Structure 1
Amino acid sequence: MSNLTTIILTHNEELNIEECIKSVMRISQRIVVIDSFSNDKTVEIARKMGAEVFQNKWINYAKQFKYGLERACIETKWVFRLDADERLTKESSIELERLCNENEDTDVNGIIVRFEVNFLGRKLRHGGIYPFKKLLVFKYGYGDIEDRNMDEHIVLTEGRTVELENDSLHYDYKDLNFWIDKHNKYSSREVQDYLESLSEKNDGPKLDKSAKIKRIIKFKIYYKLPIGLRALLYFVYRYFIKLGFLDGKEGLIFAVLQAFWYRFLVDSKIFEYNKLLKR
């Protein structure tokens, strides 16, 4: 076991929460679930699994996680932020435990977790999806989360990061209706971040290199392209240049939904704001 508190954010996650908690039970001293008033069995299952459960009204991921850090009164060396549709494998949990224990007194203050994404029952290995990397584990007091509506990242105040070599799993058991509803909400929050970015002078100076490059490309290049064209180019990049077509029908559906539905929906809402709501 590591000197680690795992914080899981939930809302109606009865299909995912049990396996998520199981995957971190062996290495976590505490498992804390921050639930935004689920109306299914999420809370019941989490408590049955031994997790501490607190409930808080949902605003966005960043504010919910900040609430979790404060409400949980963290006393462990490390904190692990995990979503309910994410889980460690046996190999990644052993490696994470080792890295936490080995680096309690080093300048390694953050650990990047890499995920294998499963979409409609298929592992996506192309299209720039694999591996999906996030800084999710950090020493308490040396990490914070960006106050953003979408695409929020954990940032370190000092120290360096290391990356897991073994994959963890991003596997959501919900259907496409849920995916579409979730990404519709995401698109509205992404528009908020886009509008706020127009007045930002310094964009994420404390982000890790990979996240910083992606942020620059997104706001300094992608959003400078004409509406419509940028969604098309995004699809071409994901599906053809990054070989998303090798992931079969699932890869095609994922690329189309990401580009021509989600990214174009964000663009449409920006257009709507500039034409109608800004007046």
Structure 2
Amino acid sequence: MQPADLDLIILTLNEELNLEYCLRSVQGLPKNIFVVDSGSTDKTVEIAERYGAVVVTHEFITQAEQFNWALDNLPLKSQWILRLDADEVLLPELRDEIAATLPGIRSDVTGLYLKRRMMFLGRWIRHGGYYPTWILRLFRKGKARSEQAELNEHIVLLEGTSERLKNDFVDHDHEGLASWTNKHEGYASRHARFLNGLKNGHDDTFIQPQIFGPQAHRKRWLVQNVYGPAPLFGRAFLYFAYRYFFRLGFLDGVPGLIFHYLHGCWYMFYTDAKVYEQRTKQNI
């Protein structure tokens, strides 16, 4: 395979258990691989360099700021940019589809949405409203930025149109449940600040809520108009019931039960506890 006119950006911090899978999955596709590391103390940098990546160290603030810094400061030379997390891999079908699509794509198309497949405890989570999830990850240089959100930040196009590719990339974290819960404990404080901001009419994200818009815009509308106004704590149980029963999450087996409960109930309940704590401190 001839490399595509494509540069890959990966943000890392202590990703030795995941990074090699990611880099192996893209072999032969990008012209250049850039790893922006925020101070790893494991073998992340060694693994990245072994696969020919250019490693740049930069202090981490948020995912959005780190990625926008990368766009502004890395020596990106290709026409297209692909952004992956270290725990994500391209399926061979998607890698081949990207290589075949980019050379002949229309000039007005500046972004390509990719379809994410979530793996959890070895199981593909196909239900509960979790698949397919369409995410803008591939775009022309200079035509997109990350919105300045603390959590669940989206890459948004500055101009042009977008299309969808058919095949999947896979989110498969190899670090286990302890790492998953630790990460989500950290996410909860940021998520709570976002929800409290919505309550006060503060939303500086680029993704505008639209009930009939693209997937990310619909989700933002539901958060702002349905989930956000719902009662604290009770909404976590309602959301889990919606995912697990109405959206058929029970069809994902035991891993699905664990995932939908942890992500759809435990995490959302813990986030509400953080919401309550922040409101109490600030008398919101």
CA shift digits 1:1-21 (9 cap, x unpaired): 211110001111111111211
Counterpart of 2:277, as a letter, is E
Matches of 2:85 and 2:204 in 1, distance apart?
Answer: 28
The correspondence of residues 185-200 of structure 1 with structure 2, limited to 5 A, is 185-197=186-198, 198-200=200-202
SS in 2 for 1:137: strand
8 Å contact kept, 2:112–2:163: yes
Between stretches 4-13 and 203-212, larger displacement belongs to 203-212
- Structure 1: segments with no counterpart, 5+ residues: none
Aligned to 2:144: 143
Q: Residues 54-75 of structure 1: CA distance to partner in whole angstroms, max 9, x if unpaired?
A: 1112211101111211221322
Equivalent position to 1:248, from 253, 261, 271: 253
Q: Is the 8 A contact 1:6 1:30 kept in 2?
A: yes
Residue 277 of structure 1 deviates from its aligned partner by: 4.4
Letter in 2 for 1:220: N
What residue is the counterpart of 1:108 in the other structure? 109
Name the CA distance, whole Å, in 2 between partners of 1:69 and 1:142.
11
1:227 aligns with 2:232: yes
| Secondary structure of 1:58 counterpart | coil
C-alpha contact (below 8 Å) 2:91/2:170 kept by paired residues? yes
Which of 196, 219, 223 lines up with 1:218 in the alignment?
Answer: 223
Q: What SS does the aligned partner of 1:25 have? A: coil
Measure, in 2, the Cα distance between the counterparts of 1:230 and 1:88: 35
AA matched with 2:95 = S
Report if the CA contact (8 A) 2:149-2:205 is conserved: no
Q: How does 1:148-167 map to 2 (within 5 A)?
A: 148-167=149-168
Of 23, 35, 55, the residue aligned with 1:53 is 55
CA distance in 2, matches of 1:206, 1:107: 23
CA distance in 2, matches of 1:176, 1:202: 32
Please give the TM-score of this superposition, normalised by the length of structure 2: 0.93
- Which of the residues 64, 67, 70 maps onto 2:66? 64
- Structure 2 distance, partners of 1:29, 1:181, is 35
For 1:76 and 1:184, how far apart are their aligned partners in 2?
37
TM-superposition CA deviations, 1:135-157 (whole Å, max 9, x none): 00111111111001001101111
Question: Which residue of 1 is the match for residue 92 of structure 2?
Answer: 90
Q: What is the Cα deviation at residue 226 of structure 1?
A: 0.2
Kindly, what percent of the aligned residue pairs are identical? 40
- 1:88–1:205 CA distance, 2 compared to 1 (3 A): closer
Query: Could you say if the C-alpha distance between residues 143 and 16 of structure 1 is closer, same or farther in structure 2, counting changes exceeding 3 Å?
Result: same
Q: How many residues align?
A: 278
For residues 128 and 201 of structure 1, the distance between their equivalents in structure 2, rounded to whole angstroms, comes to 25
* Distance (whole Å) between structure 2 residues aligned to residue 196 and residue 76 of structure 1: 38
Partners of 2:8 and 2:82 within 8 A in 1 = yes
**2:278 match:** 273
The runs of 5 or more residues in structure 2 that have no matched partner are: none
Does residue 117 in structure 1 map to residue 125 in structure 2?
Answer: no
Return the alpha-carbon distance in structure 2 between the equivalents of residues 245 and 188 of structure 1. 29
Write the distance in 1 (CA, Å) between the matches of 2:81 and 2:208.
19
Cα–Cα, structure 1 residues 193 and 202, in superposed 2: closer, same or farther, change >3 Å? closer
**What letter is aligned with 2:222?**
I
- Match of residue 30 from structure 2: 28
Give the secondary structure class of the aligned counterpart of 2:26.
helix
Q: Render the CA deviation track for 1:159-210: whole Å, top value 9, x for unaligned.
A: 1111111112111111111000000111111122223333337763578721
Q: Deviations over 1:188-244 (max 9, x none)?
A: 111222233333377635787211111011122201000122111110111001100
Contact 1:204 1:212 in 2 (8 A): no
Assess if the C-alpha contact under 8 Å between 2:193 and 2:275 holds in 1: no
What is the alpha-carbon distance in structure 2 between the residues aligned to residue 120 and residue 241 of structure 1? 23
| TM-score, normalised by the number of residues in structure 1 | 0.95
Amino acid of the structure 2 residue aligned with 1:234: Y
State how far apart, in whole Å, the 1-side matches of 2:129 and 2:249 are: 7
Query: How far is 1:101 from its partner?
Result: 1.6
